[in-house]
Amino acid sequence: MPHSPCLPACRTPPHCALFRALALAFLTLVGAHTHAQTSALVPAVASLHRQIERFVRDQSAHLPGDVKVVVALPEHTALPECPAFSLSTPSGARTLGRSSVAVRCPALVGSWRLLVPVQIQVIAPYVVTARAIPAGQVLGPDDLSTRTGDLGTLPAGTLTQPEQALGHVTRTALAGAQALRPALLKVVEVVRSGQSVTVLAGGAGFEVRNTGMALNSGGAGSLIRVRLANGQVVNGVATDRGEVRLGS
């Protein structure tokens, strides 16, 4: 009579029945123990998943728009017993798009480390050209438009506010609806180093004018250092008229 390959043969039917019952009970206990271990891992992974998501959101708090984080941590990832995991951003990791988070356990002796892939989506408005624009053109309000999309899929440094491009000059010809970034533009200098400039200061209801020499060049909105006639050096912001206005 054939017998189970997993259990040794028994010689008498009563003994065989008893042996099989004990063996099945043992296998049931082992299976339950294994299931308990697996079930215990799932909450630990879920907890780490939440920690990573919170960490990335905190790191992305300065970004504009709606931030969505996708953490690629498999449910049954084997984790060591750790009272508290330490999370960090690896050197060179991106703040948008595909990135990663380094997970360590300071309580462990050794070099255990887990790199968890994450996808950081930032849905926000960004600046595009309103139409095809030739090289060398000074950008005005009619040249610009905005679209909304995932900044992580766009070139690094894409502008998010039209004011960041107004008054700048295109370095090359640009296609319509092209996302703008600083590398495509250059600043129109309204103040040149060494020139005489008018310095404005004042408050509610009054304004004081002075003159001085600009110590650096810059476009409208740039910080300009000016040496006054008495030798004092002050800092101000260049206006589109080439004057320098001191802070209040």
The mean of the pLDDT values for the chain is: 85
pLDDT of residue 27: 47
Q: How much of the chain exceeds pLDDT 70, in percent? A: 83
pLDDT value, residue 166: 86
The pLDDT-based confidence of 34 (bands split at 50, 70, 90) is very low
User: What residues are paired with 99 via a beta bridge?
Assistant: 118
pLDDT score recorded for residue 142:
94
Closest residue by Cα to residue 241 from 220, 223, 222? 220
Domain boundary among 149, 168, 186: 186
As given in the structure block, the two tokens for residue 133 are 């624009």
pLDDT at 7: 47
Could you tell me if residue 138 is inside a domain? yes
Backbone angles phi, psi at 40, to 5 degrees: -70, -30
112 domain residue, yes or no: no
Nearest Cα residue to 141 out of 126, 129, 149: 129
Per-residue pLDDT of 101-142, as tens digits, reads: 999 999 887 778 999 999 999 999 999 999 999 999 989 999
46: left (phi over 0), alpha (psi -120 to 50) or beta: alpha
pLDDT of residue 204: 77
Does one domain contain both 175 and 128? yes
Please report, for residues 146, 202, 240, the alpha-carbon distance to residue 208 in angstroms, rounded to integers and kept in the order given. 39, 6, 19
- The one-character DSSP state at 178 is P
Flag the least confident range among 13-22, 106-115, 175-184.
13-22
Task: Give the model's confidence band at 219: pLDDT under 50 very low, under 70 low, under 90 confident, else very high.
Answer: confident
pTM of the predicted model as reported, rounded to 2 decimal places: 0.59
Please indicate, yes or no, if residue 223 is contained in any of the structural domains: yes
Cβ distance 149 to 136 under 8 Å? no
Indicate if the pLDDT at residue 72 is higher than 90: yes
Residue 158's nearest CA partner among 169, 172, 146, 171 is 146
Residue 162 lies in a domain: yes
**Band (4; pLDDT cuts 50, 70, 90):** very low
pLDDT at 25 over 80: no
Burial 128-144 (b: 16+ CB within 10 A, else e): bbbeebeeeeebeeebb
Radius of gyration over alpha carbons of the chain, in Å?
33
Whether 172 and 196 share a structural domain: no
When pLDDT is averaged across residues 176-205 and rounded to a whole number, the result is 92
Residue 221 has pLDDT above 50, yes or no: yes
Of residues 100 and 166, which shows the higher confidence score? 100
CATH number for the domain harbouring residue 220: 2.30.30.760
Residue 140, domain extent: 124-186
User: Higher-confidence residue: 24 or 41?
Assistant: 24
Please list, in sequence order, all residues whose beta carbon lies within 8 angstroms of the beta carbon of residue 65, skipping any fewer than 6 positions away. 122, 123, 124, 125, 151
Using a 10 angstrom Cβ sphere, with 0-12 exposed, 13-18 middle and 19 or more buried, the burial of residue 127 is buried
Note whether residue 77 is domain-resident.
no
Q: How many domains does the chain have?
A: 2
Greater pLDDT, 79 or 2: 79
